[in-house]
Amino acid sequence: MRKIDYREAGVDYGKIDPLKVLAQQAAARTADNLRRHGLSEVAASRGESAHVVDCGDFYLASTTECLGTKALVADAMRQVTGRTYYDAIAQDTVAMAVNDLITVGATPVTVQAYWATGSSEWFDDAVRARDLVEGWRRACDACGAVWGGGETPALAGVVAADRIDLAASCTGLVRPKARLTLGDRLGPGDAIVLLASSGIHANGVSLARKLAERLPTGYATRLPSGATFGDALLAPTVLYAPVTEALAAAGIVPHYQANITGHGWRKVMRHPATLTYRFHTLPEVPEVLRFLQRETGGDDRAAYGNLNMGAGYALFVAAADAARAAAIAAAAGVPAVVAGAVEAGPRQVVLEPLGVTFAAGDLHLRA
């Protein structure tokens, strides 16, 4: 069994990051522009999952996120089963933008769609187009957001001829302002509640595609449960907005929130504070992620450092609220577990059941 790593699978974070740093520095310099409108940037939101502007009576939050390469999995699986799966990846795309937006305490209000194809012919496939539209609509409904519109360009020469580049933007409001969660109240003693993922979501897909190329039956490979690898990969990303709205309705304001995406459990320490995040309990690992780990030869460190491994979203709450927060999440349809706690100590994530520790230097998110 040959190991596959992320660089080999086409995602080279070492190359993306210098440009990101340059862009982040330039972007930060534009904050002063808001003064002429009587607004101001919430500086602590720089580097967070959503950008936040102080508008006086409320905060305005916004995100833009893309699906990544998961549409290639849908396209390949259609050859196997005849289903388009575009309803599923539509939900994934909406989830990427919404699950980031809600981390700052925002209620998602408007979702915009960005669907760039390689040619106008992409839209000739009426079944696929309808699945995309319906999946997008249902995801917006589930999040309580309005689908405001979007852009559907045909970009011959930029996007591959038979492909689509799916992205979403989300705008939201933090009202009342006390709902803002940028981590200023995060501290030792807080509990960490993990919300279940449904599978790979939309991160680690390049690795999964690489594996599919190597498996004799590709995406049709059966997992122990009998599900195919492809079907399991295409379980749509969980939308966490119903949970965060239910928490707000119950009067629970998390001290911090993290959407577990491209850097796996390293994202747990995305807040810049010097704190230790210690886990005593790990959530159940979705079968497809266990399979992916085993077949790509990744150890627990590689798996938890890059994949969600069953934890799609982390809530950091007062210890006294932890059990109730988990119960509210479950009542909103998302299994949750009180999995760990925040401690004074170096910035690190400690997975006690596995003997794995991620140090601050393992994460490179901020300028």
Residues 67-96 that bind its own copies (CB under 8 A): 68-69, 71-72
C-beta closer to its own copies: residue 165 or 190: 165
Q: Which of 120, 217, 274, 281 binds its own copies (CB under 8 A)?
A: 120
Compute the least distance from the CB of residue 112 to its own copies, in Å.
4
Compute the least distance from the CB of residue 119 to its own copies, in Å.
7
C-beta closer to its own copies: residue 64 or 221: 64
Compute the least distance from the CB of residue 54 to its own copies, in Å.
11
C-beta closer to its own copies: residue 27 or 215: 27
- In the numeric block, which tokens belong to residue 56? 């006086």
Compute the least distance from the CB of residue 135 to its own copies, in Å.
10
C-beta closer to its own copies: residue 96 or 349: 96
Applying CB under 8 A, the site for its own copies has a residue count of 84
Which region, judged by CB under 8 A, interacts with its own copies, from 151-159, 185-193, 280-288, 302-310? 151-159
Compute the least distance from the CB of residue 10 to its own copies, in Å.
4
Compute the least distance from the CB of residue 78 to its own copies, in Å.
15
Compute the least distance from the CB of residue 316 to its own copies, in Å.
22
Question: Interaction with its own copies in 1-60: which residues (CB under 8 A)?
Answer: 10-12, 15-16, 18-20, 22-24, 26-27, 29-31, 33-34, 36-37, 39, 41, 46, 51, 53, 55, 57-58, 60
Q: In one letter, which amino acid is 322?
A: A
Q: Which of 98, 103, 104, 165 binds its own copies (CB under 8 A)?
A: 165
C-beta closer to its own copies: residue 130 or 222: 130
3-state SS, the chain, equals: CCCCCCCCCCCCHHHHHHHHHHHHHHHHHHHHHHHHHCCEECHHHCCCCCEEEECCCCEEEEEEEECCCHHHHHHHHHHHHCCCCHHHHHHHHHHHHHHHHHHHCCEEEEEEEEEEECCHHHHHCHHHHHHHHHHHHHHHHHHCCEEEEEECCECECCECCCCEEEEEEEEEEECCHHHCCCCCCCCCCCEEEEEECCCCCCCCHHHHHHHHHHCCCHHHCECCCCCEHHHHHCCCCCCCHHHHHHHHHCCCCCCEEEECCCCHHHHHHCCCCCEEEEECCCCCCCHHHHHHHHHHCCCHHHHHHHCCCCEEEEEEECHHHHHHHHHHHHHCCCCEEEEEEEEECCCEEEEHHHCEEEEHHHCCCCC
Compute the least distance from the CB of residue 172 to its own copies, in Å.
9
C-beta closer to its own copies: residue 2 or 29: 29
**Overall residue count recorded for the chain in this entry:** 367
Question: Interaction with its own copies in 285-304: which residues (CB under 8 A)?
Answer: none
CA contacts within 13 A on the Cβ side of 293 = 21
Residues 73, 208: contact at Cβ < 8 Å?
yes
Contact between 151 and its own copies per CB under 8 A? yes
Q: Which of 91, 171, 259, 308 binds its own copies (CB under 8 A)?
A: 171
Q: Which of 155, 178, 320, 360 binds its own copies (CB under 8 A)?
A: 155
Question: Interaction with its own copies in 190-219: which residues (CB under 8 A)?
Answer: 206
- In the numeric block, which tokens belong to residue 365? 């998110």
